[in-house]
A = this chain, B = another copy of it.
C-alpha cells in the first residue's frame, strides 16, 4: 500500500440499522470509527446480540492503532468489550461516551481498557491520522462528528446527528466548524442516512418540553415517564419538569439507574440527591409528589414499564389516576411489544401518552433538509451514505445528487465493500469478509448459521425423536421403537400418528435388516428419510427428525 493511498472499509451499518463500524486504513495504520452492536430479530432467535464480523481486523491486528467513538449508543459502542478482548488499543471518546463505556467494560469484567477523553474542538494524532472532533446534536449528549486528515485528504464521519438550533443543553451542532472543514476541502463524507426518507426538518427537543409541561400541568396523580436510558436530554427534561411542579424523582430499571448515575456524576444531569427517591421508598411518597423515570419505552418484556404494565413489577403498581408517558418511538420490530405495554397500562386505568398521538418524542437523526445543510457546509467531493437500510442510503444519495454532487461521486456500499481514495479519485476495489458475529450464551458463536436454521425449524415445526433398539449382531429391531416429540403437533390429538410413525420406522428397519445394513449412520439416514416423508405428508409439518439407534 503506497504512501498516498487511503482505504475505507465499512464493517457494519450499511444495508441495516445498527452495528456501525468502519475501518480507515493507510500505510501508517488502521483506525476504527465506532464499534457498534445490533439487536437480534426473528432471523436470529435466542441470540444475545449481534456484532459486526471483524475478521478483517483480526487479519490486520498489528496495523490497528486505536478506536474512535462518536457517541455512547449501543449501536456505536456495543461491540467494544468484544474487540478489547482481542485488541489492546486506545479508545477515544468524549467524557459521557467514555463514562458509559467504562461501566460497560466493568460489566464485562474488563479491567484494562485504555480510554482517552477528547472534547469537541480537540485535535488528536492517532496512527498517522489527524483527528478533529465536531460537536453535533443527537439523542444523547456529547456526540461528535469526526474529521480525519489522511494521506489522501480530509474525510469526515458524521456519526449520528441532527441540527437542533434550540437544544436542551444550548449547544447546537457546530455549523461553523463544519463550514471551516468545508472551506479546507472535504474529500469524502460518510453521512448518517437514518432519516434520509423523511422530508423537512426533525422538530427541536424543545417541542417535547412543551408536551411534558402540558402533561405535568394536568396530572393530579403519579407521573411515570419511560424513555431510552441513554437519552440524557429527555431525562433532564423530565427532571426540570419535576422541579417546576414540585415533584420528587424516582428512577427505576437497571440501565436507567446506571445512566442517571453516570450523567449526574459527570455533570450532564442536574438532579440533586435531595430530589431522588429510592425505589424502596417510592411507595411512601404521595402520588402527587413524584415523577418516576424508567426503562421500557420499547416494550422489552423484562424492562420496568413492561413489568408494571403486566402487573409483575415487585414494587410499583399502576392504576387509575396515574399518568404514563412513553417518550420514544418504537424501533422497527418493537411495535407489537410497545402496543402490548400501552394496552396493558390503559386496561389498568392509567392515562397513557404516546407517540405519534402526542409529541412526546422527536428523532435524534436529521431529516432531508438537515442532510442538505450539512452537505452544503462540507461540500464533499465524494459522499458515502452510511447508517441505514438500502432504501435510506438510496434516498440520501438522491438528496446529494439533487444538490449537484455527480452520481459517480456517490457510493452506496454494503458491509465489507472496500473503497480506495488516491490522488483525489475514489473507487471500490473489493469486498472483505463482513456480516454478523452472533453472540449466543454470552460468547461469540462459531457455527451460528446452522444453529439459527435449526432454531427456526424447531420454532415452527418442533422436533420428533425416535429411539430404536437393534441387535448388535444382525441389526434387527428389538421391540417397537419409542417416539417422543416436542413442539410438534400433539401426537395423541392427531389420530394414528404415533402408531403409523412406529410402523414406518419398523418397516424401514426391516428393509435395512434384509439389506444387511448395520452402519448406524446409514440406518439413521434411512429412518430420517422415511419418517420425515411420512410426517410431512401426514401433517404438512417438517419437524427436525432425530433418530437414535441403540445397539444391544
Contact = CB atoms under 8 A, between A and B. Distances in A.
Interface of A: 15, 41-42, 45-46, 197, 332-333, 335-336, 339, 342-344, 346-347, 352, 357, 389-391, 394, 440-443, 445-447, 451, 454-463, 465, 467, 469, 482, 484, 486-490, 492-494, 539-541, 544, 546, 548, 550, 552
A480 B47 CA distance: 31
Contact of A550 (B336, B488, B550): B550
Contact of A343 (B391, B443, B490): B391
B548 A548 contact: yes
Contacts of A335: 332-333, 335
Nearest to A535: B441
Contacts of A440: 489, 541
Copies of this polypeptide in the complex? 2
A410 B460 CA distance: 41
A207 B417 CA distance: 42
B486 A544 contact: yes
B459 A336 contact: no
A408 to B, nearest CB: 16
Best-surrounded residue of A46, A458, A482, A486 (most CB of chain B within 10 A): A458
A42 B455 contact: no
Contacts of A197: 357
A45 B459 contact: yes
Contacts of A441: 489, 494, 539-541
B458 A463 contact: yes
A406 to B, nearest CB: 18
B391 A489 contact: no
B343 A336 contact: no
B447 A455 contact: no
B458 A462 contact: yes
Contacts of A460: 45-46, 455
A242 to B, nearest CB: 26
A389 B343 contact: yes
B336 A332 contact: yes
Contacts of A343: 15, 389-391
B493 A46 contact: no
